[in-house]
Structure 1
Amino acid sequence: MRNEYKALLIGFLAVVVLDTVGSIASNQFDFNYNLLWPGSYLIYGAVSFQVTKRSQLKKGILFSVITGLFDATIGLTISTYLQANIGLEHEMTTGYWVIAVLVNSVFVAIVGLIAGRIAIWKNKNRINAQQVA
């Protein structure tokens, strides 16, 4: 299996772990599950960084968005099943969910772009350091 696909699978696994542990913890310690959003974005950025490092920027951004979509579907299913303390006082409708996924995908793509550019920059610095030595 190619390394960029391994990064995607590891991203999926990280999402499952974060959503599972976060859902249980939000109930046990009575905090809003939505406070864990930085962890999700860290996962999306890490996926983009690793994929871009091994492949290309477009694929890094795409894989980070795919990871975000995985989180918005499977992750939401996990947190709903485990009754995460999400603090919603109204029912999440399909329309609300679709809009949230689309808006989140834009932010995930931006995070993926930033992480991918960092990967490219680090690769250039590594190559330049090797040429000097």
Structure 2
Amino acid sequence: MRRARFLLDRSVGGRPLVSRLREAGWDARTLAEEYGDAVAQAMRDEEWIAAGTRSGYILLAKDHRVAVRPLEAQAIYMNDARVIAFVHGDITAQEMGDLCLQHEAAVHRLADVQAPFVFSLGRGGLRRRKLYAP
């Protein structure tokens, strides 16, 4: 089994979430830690999806609609990205952390699932989303 590494999108709570995941033993980084704050703030979604995937990360995003937005879906498909997105975009970093830790085993198993994919993470666990790409 491959060790899962996670890269957090700007919108998923940054430091509070990454700190909580690290305390639980996760290998997790924010975009700002990985690329520097100025670069991270300027990156388009397609850019961070490609760069994070090249670096071997599972990507954590706040909005599961990345699976249907044309540019993001194409970037996921073309880069063989592994994406976990939260079902509800209006949840707090605390709630995101709760979900990640509640479903930790299933989330970590995704490191061995063939990419590309987008899974939604909610109270009921992980659910694979249809990826709308070529």
Compare the two structures and name the one with the higher helix fraction.
Answer: 1
Compare the two structures and name the one with the higher strand fraction.
Answer: 2
By the TM > 0.5 criterion, same fold?
A: no
Point out which structure has higher relative CO (alpha carbons under 8 A, 6+ apart): 1
TM-score by length of 2: 0.27
Q: Which of the two has higher C-alpha Rg?
A: 1
